Amino acid sequence: MPRSARVQQVLEETAAFTPAERAELVEGLAKPIVFTRADMDRQREAILEFLAIPTFAGVDPNASSDRYAFLKHDLER
Q: Taking a C-beta distance cutoff of 8 angstroms, is the pair 20, 12 a contact?
A: no
- For the segment 9-59, what is each residue's pLDDT rounded down to a tens digit? 888 888 888 989 988 888 888 878 788 999 999 999 999 998 888 776 666
pLDDT of residue 3: 78
- Report residue 14: phi and psi, to 5°: -75, -20
Say which residue, 12 or 3, is predicted with more confidence. Answer: 12
pLDDT of residue 45: 94
The Cα 7–Cα 21 span in angstroms is 18
The Cα 59–Cα 29 span in angstroms is 47
pTM of the model: 0.35
pLDDT of residue 53: 83
- Report residue 55: phi and psi, to 5°: -105, 165
